[in-house]
Amino acid sequence: MIMPIVQYGDPVLRKKCKPVAKVTEELQTLAADMIETMEDAAGVGLAAPQVGVDLQLAVVDVSHDPECISFLKINGEDIAPEDMPDHMPIVFFNPELELLEPMEADKEGCLSIQGVQAKVNRPSIVRAKLPQLDGSVMELESDGLLARAIQHETDHLNGILYVDRLTSVAKVRVNAALKRLTKRQQY
């Protein structure tokens, strides 16, 4: 089921989400609905608060472009970038991230902040422990858009939006657009 995506200004996007305590049938359905919603919106990631649920659950899919990463390791196994799409989408909850430099600036957008894009500086490499719905824990290491998307979605689970991470110059430019979005929501 495609769910409505919560938009900028909604307080649920600012919540520190609750950890998932147990994988229930309800949680599995929510994850499946989030994948469908992300695909319908042509997004590369979606976090539960974006569909109004304050739980630490997110989905990521960067399979549209195997060249968006330069390496991928899953559970200690090297995966060739061209085989990365076989491992998408990734559903995870209660993520634990280790972030490694160098920093890298790249354009980001968000399905909850329509019509806005800006460059965000982030650590370029992520080592992540990503608990899976089947009870296993995926240990993932990657860079590029996958590392960025995992960080962006994990931020959502902590009530942080990418526009919070802009340089002050970029913030000035983006602020006017954000004000318009907030206003729209009030009517």
Residues that bind Ni ion (CB under 5 A): 110
Q: Can you tell me whether residue 140 is helix, strand or coil?
A: strand
Q: Of the two residues 143 and 153, which places its CB atom closer to Ni ion in the complex?
A: 153
* AA identity, residue 164: D
Q: Is 153 a catalytic residue?
A: yes
Per the residue annotation, which of 26, 67, 104, 153 is the catalytic one? 153
What stretches of 95-143 adopt beta strand conformation (E)? Answer: 96-110, 113-131, 137-142
Q: Of the two residues 110 and 130, which places its CB atom closer to Ni ion in the complex?
A: 110
- Smallest gap from Cβ 187 to Ni ion, in A, equals 23
Radius of gyration over every alpha carbon of the chain, rounded to an integer in angstroms = 16
**How buried is 85 (Cβ within 10 angstroms: 0-12 exposed, 13-18 middle, 19+ buried)?**
middle
Q: Of the two residues 110 and 166, which places its CB atom closer to Ni ion in the complex?
A: 110
Catalytic residue set: 153
